Structure 1
Amino acid sequence: MTAPPSPSSSQSPMTVPLAGLPARVDVYEVGPRDGLQNEGTVLPVEVKAELVHRLVAAGLRTVEVTSFVRPGVVPQLADAEELLAALNRVDGVRYPVLVPNERGLDRALASGVREIAIFGSATESFARANLGRSVDESLAMFAPVVARATDEGLPVRAYLSMCFGDPWEGQVAIPQVVAVATRLMELGCTQLSLGDTIGVATPGHVVALLDALGDAGLGVDRLAVHFHDTYGQALANTLAALQRGVTTVDSAAGGLGGCPFARSATGNLATEDLIWQLHGLGIETGIDLEALVRTSVWLSERLRRPSPSRAVRALASSSTAAPAAPSSEE
């Protein structure tokens, strides 16, 4: 009797392109900042540095490493200066940080940061919860930050949260999002990341917002998307954005994250899940999926909980995705 064939141990999907998609997507990794800020476990700085090093070694070329917020507000990121000093930076890799105000910018500049991000809200409720001020007041706070950073030659990314829904206000009107987005970019920001902070977006909503922003003069070349997977829509929403020409997608290794100021938000789109989809579509990323899975398995052990990423779960049991041996930096 012939034995049944062994299950395949393939580590990559079949490549079947779809027409109308970009040839390459830039993956903007937010795990070390947006991911770890919502974890109950506060990791030692040496583990955070090792995480950044492993992500870069896996091929990621943009890794948002930390945030210069007040330590009492986000204690998980209280070691921002120490972390930046511990990094072995690689030429050609971007290491942006989030700054909330001019004091945060001062700290970032003193640490040798060469790229920053600011964090605004499309809704008044979240602006009050996250920044302690109105939308108008937050834009006034950001103006000197962007101006000073630009004078220093630093690119400035703008995050806009609650673009698709708000836990206090419910549905957010597209014209409201467009109005705040336009004002943020008029400050001089180089890129706008559209945040589905509580994960309620669906593909049609994504397309409608992108089209409305285009009509307002904000083309997809200046936009990125940032989806949370609360209702399992993050990959579908990403595909809709790609079909509209977006080429920068935010994600977090292992599906880390959420939002400490919006408790209904679950984890970010997992970088591994995103890469599986992109590689299956024949889209170039430059990222080694197996190395990325090993990194998320390694990180899960330190966080003492399994990764929510479906790709990590599916791939981690194979021998090629087993946890890597600890490095000398652990």
Structure 2
Amino acid sequence: MYPGEFLSSRVKNKQLKPVTLFIGAETYWKQIIIERLKKAFLEESSAQMNFISFDAKSNTVSEVLEEANAFGFFQSKKIILFNSIDELDSEEMKPILSYIESPNTESYLILNAVKPDNRLALLKNKDIKEETVEFEIRSEKDIKDFIDFKLIQLGNLKLDKKLESYLLSVFSSDLGLLAQNLDKIAAYNNFTSPLRLSENDMEHLITSPEQESNSFKFIDAITSRDFGKAFTLYKNLSGENNNVHGLIGLLRWNFQSILKASFLLKNNVSKEEICSQCKIPPFKRNFFFKTLETLKDKELQNIYTLIANCDYSLKSSNISPEHFFESLIFNICKKS
């Protein structure tokens, strides 16, 4: 089942089974659900003592099951969260399968995993199959469901259709960042429905996943020819073990898009069509067209040639790739 369904059918109605399986990489949803579980099923006075978290990377299955079979503090129910169960092999999984057959009804055991591949025996178990919550974003509907859930949290607010479409086009992942933006939008609208933003506000107020990424900030700094900012961001990216070849690929894609857009603009193609063909997201459009106005065709060609030459040098020379790339940053940002 999906998280929203789990909240309404199990948490809200307080009908949680002794063992539940969480699957998927969407951690923000999981955190929300776990907090709701604690609030719904644990006594406030003993909640801290009756919520225990384990991890398969550092704890044994026997430790977890010993805790699951014991009573909670003050004879209250308790929640045991067992993370990283995808790290367990089939032998280590057997005691868990046995526990599922005869669980302690005074405990709630949450088995948490990212990948389902290694747990076929667990997934075939009828009881667990019915209590599996999938934390994956598979479609736009999953994002919309999360937005609806968040709007209820914010006071049953409604979202303007245009703003909703914009958010759905920008956020295909990272629900945590989407939630932060919805908090920001609600505050900006004084928590009054429907929540609205002008196009200009959308661009400047909403922080997209790409804008959070240092690699995209680096591309923007290079495009703006801001050497100081570009070099600092490059050093940060190097510290994050980013590959120089990957950054070259991003630069090539960026300036290819700008060159293509420049050609289309000269042939009277509409900005909307240019954005579609060049795959320019809504929050980058103003910056993108401002760049087109700033950089002349000759400059664009020169920059693209510099990138191509650097790419060739990286592949054909034994000299440190960082040397070539740092020179490239300087040469692109150097204004003639």
- The structure with the larger Rg is 2
TM > 0.5 between the two? Answer: no
Q: Structure 1 length normalisation: TM-score? A: 0.32
Q: Structure 2 length normalisation: TM-score? A: 0.31
The structure richer in helix per residue is 2
